[in-house]
Amino acid sequence: MFLKSEKYTIMEKYIKIIQGIVPEIKEKDIKLPFNVIRIDSIDLVTIRVEFEREIGEVIPDSKWMCFESLFDMIDYCNNQENVSFSNSDDVIKNKILKEITIDMPQMAIQALSENWLFKELGNLHWQMLCDGLNTKSFELKDELNNRLYATFVRISINSTVPLNQFNENETLKIEGEINRFGNSMYFSNIILKSRESIINANLMTSFSIRNESDNTKLVKSQPNSAKNSIEEFSMNPKFGNEYRLIKKNELDEIKIGNVTFKIHDNFIFETTYTINPYYDLNGVGLLYFASYPIISDVCEANYFNALDNNHDRWELTYYTLSRDILYYANCNINDEILYKLNSFSFIENNTVQINSSLYRRSDNSLMARIFTIKRKQS
């Protein structure tokens, strides 16, 4: 416990760290339970990283899972010896290089398949992550021996041309690398190049423990690995910090290139989507992260195809140019998904920006915010 003479010095130091991440936290909040101060899970992960750096060691999951307040965290850290911090062996740049030929499995509706693209990007991210941890995916566990799953938190793709301009038999040269912030958050940048076009993708994941019977109750954790050769960021990168601020409603707009999207919950159209287990769920029964944009597209097309002035199928007219997805929740096989079209606007160069969101119908929980730019087929 704290000695009286040093209590305020230590408290002030850690409160300063906390307030650098969550400015609204006051000293009076330190002893309140997490559920009372409603601190966000990403904020807690960020605080954990900074506290671990301060004490010079990783906080064990067996301790972390028992903390009920920020005071518990500070008290623990105060009793640890400060040493030079490094929890990685031979830190190296974790990169991947490969080539893929665009054949029919990589295509859909006369374009590069976005579903395939997301799955491929996710697989590359996962491969680099496991290589950096020197483990196989099914062997990835936390300190308490719980099986861990990489949970996609945010994915953005930005292409120089709409996806229908990638052609059959073209070769894509792929280059990617991965970094981390602490042991919980991993960020990859993957670039796919054809002869004339480029797709730039950014992916962010955390780790979750899955409740075997309920996909709505995913608990964040981190891998217990003796080796982590993935290079660490000195601070939470903009890509991750934007996600954190948007989730907390502290950021009211987001930019894709030079296009600004206002973030709001108003909507002009909503419809219900029924999950197709054979297509939408992954190998462990979670809603596949790659299904989110497709579910959005299916529901979006229902709206635009029903417009009186729309004579051509929307799916064959407008193709994805850029997309940014912020993931918040998963669902169960029996859940229905509520799609909301928040807003859209036709802008220059035969382009449309679309702001949409997905909700779990059973409890109206926000599952994702999806920001999309599409261009009309020329």
Q: Please give the mean pLDDT across all residues of the chain.
A: 85
- Average pLDDT on 58-82 reads 75
Of 203 and 77, the structure prediction assigns the larger pLDDT to 203
- Average pLDDT on 17-39 reads 78
- Sequence spans of domains, the chain: 7-78, 94-376
Of all residues in the chain, the percent with pLDDT exceeding 90 is: 47
Q: Do domains 7-78 and 94-376 have the same CATH topology?
A: no
- Average pLDDT on 325-337 reads 92
- Average pLDDT on 58-69 reads 76
Q: Where are the beta strands (DSSP E) in the chain?
A: 94-101, 107-108, 111-112, 148-159, 171-181, 185-193, 198-211, 214-221, 253-256, 259-262, 269-274, 318-327, 336-347, 351-360, 365-376
The CATH number of 94-376, from 3.10.129.10, 2.40.30.110, 3.40.50.1370, 3.90.1720.10, is 3.10.129.10
Nearest-angstrom CA–CA distance, 238 and 202: 11
In sequence order, what are the residues at sequence separation of 6 or more whose Cβ sits closer than 8 angstroms to the Cβ of residue 175?
A: 95, 96, 97, 190, 191, 193
pLDDT at 242: 94
Q: Counting Cβ atoms within 10 Å, is residue 90 exposed (0-12), middle (13-18) or buried (19+)?
A: exposed
Q: Convert the pLDDT of each residue in 247-287 to its tens digit.
A: 988 999 999 989 999 999 999 999 999 999 999 898 878 89
Q: Convert the pLDDT of each residue in 126-160 to its tens digit.
A: 899 888 888 777 777 777 777 777 789 999 999 99
CATH fold label, 7-78: 1.10.1200
211 has a pLDDT exceeding 50: yes
Q: Convert the pLDDT of each residue in 283-298 to its tens digit.
A: 878 899 999 999 999 9
